[in-house]
Structure 1
Amino acid sequence: MNVTIDLVDETESLNKKQLELVQQLIVKTAEVESLKGDIEVSITFVNEEQIQQINAEYRNKNQPTDVISFALNDQIDGEVNVVGEGMPNMLGDIIISVPHIKRQAEEYKHTFERELGFLTVHGMLHLLGFDHKTEAEEKEMFSRQENILMQYGLTR
């Protein structure tokens, strides 16, 4: 497995160690979820206004949020799945609000890095098709998140 990560910090507030943590957690999630082949993921860190604008435009929710994922492998009924031989599996884009990381880390009484890791893994699992619309889905997704974070060594 080869993972390519396009990482952009539009806030210019994350340090090198934090960006490396994000990359390592994306790879760890791919390993734990047994992904194969070449994989590509894009992660962008934005401010509150930017994520609110994205949330309003794409989800019709005019409010800021912590993380938004745009899975490129989601198919609509009747849509043809186009797969090119030798092409990487482009999972999609993860957008994370840096102000939310700070606020939620304080609220949940853990480190900035723990919240950064949580939102990174959460976004990655969304790209892999996991969701939390029902209680059962939420239980499964959050269990997977905690398992990945624990295996990485990023605990509360």
Structure 2
Amino acid sequence: MSLQLDWSNEQDKMDIPESWIARLEQLLQLAGEAENVLNGEVTLTFTDNEQIHQLNKEYRGIDRPTDVLSFAMQDEGTEELDIIFEVESEDELDPISGMLGDIIISVERAAEQSEEYGHSLEREIGFLFVHGFLHLIGYDHQDDASEKEMFAKQEAVLQKAGLSR
């Protein structure tokens, strides 16, 4: 098994080019290698501001749209995830344990942010995807030190993929 990306488009504001999916698959591999997460599945859903607003309110109690949401399947309620992906054989892999989780990206918010930050929409989508992936494997940005660490990891992956600002 390796890292797999399963994606869907649940918005009609813009088309999702195949080149974005290829780039996101590349970013998943690069981020996985950087974090020594070599197996698992990530589900990605593209949505709009209205839908992500509803999810943000329902699951986080925040009544506004956001850019990305992550729902980790491996989270056991602890601060750091204890993820083990190395198995002796694929026969031993529990199908549920291979699921890292879901990432939901608002393409509307990503477009707004790409304009605000002065870089391409492809870079913004990539940034949000890597950000979401890092959340799935246990990173957070609740304080300055953890935020600095997480953002440095994101930038390293994006740089390696050629998605600089």
Q: Same fold (TM over 0.5)?
A: yes
Task: Work out the CA distance in 1 between the residues paired with 2:99 and 2:128.
Answer: 19
Could you tell me how far 1:67 is from its partner in structure 2?
0.2
Q: Aligned letter for 1:85?
A: E
Residues 7-50 of structure 1 deviation map (CA, whole Å, 9 limit, x = unaligned) = 111125211111221121112111111113x3111000001100
Residue 100 of structure 2 corresponds to residue 91 of structure 1: yes
Unaligned runs of 5+ in 1: none
Unaligned runs of 5+ in 2: 85-90
Q: Give the aligned length.
A: 151
Match in the other structure for 2:28 = 26
Residues 96-121 of structure 1 deviation map (CA, whole Å, 9 limit, x = unaligned) = 00001110000000011110110010
Task: Work out the CA distance in 1 between the residues paired with 2:70 and 2:147.
Answer: 16
Task: Work out the CA distance in 1 between the residues paired with 2:136 and 2:70.
Answer: 6
Q: Aligned letter for 2:54?
A: Q
Match in the other structure for 2:53 = 52
**TM-score, length of structure 1 as denominator length:** 0.90
Residues 73-118 of structure 1 deviation map (CA, whole Å, 9 limit, x = unaligned) = 11126xxx9x993225211000000001110000000011110110
**TM-score, length of structure 2 as denominator length:** 0.86
Match in the other structure for 2:77 = 76
Task: Work out the CA distance in 2 between the residues paired with 1:18 and 1:86.
Answer: 30
Q: Aligned letter for 1:20?
A: A
CA RMSD of aligned residues (A): 1.8
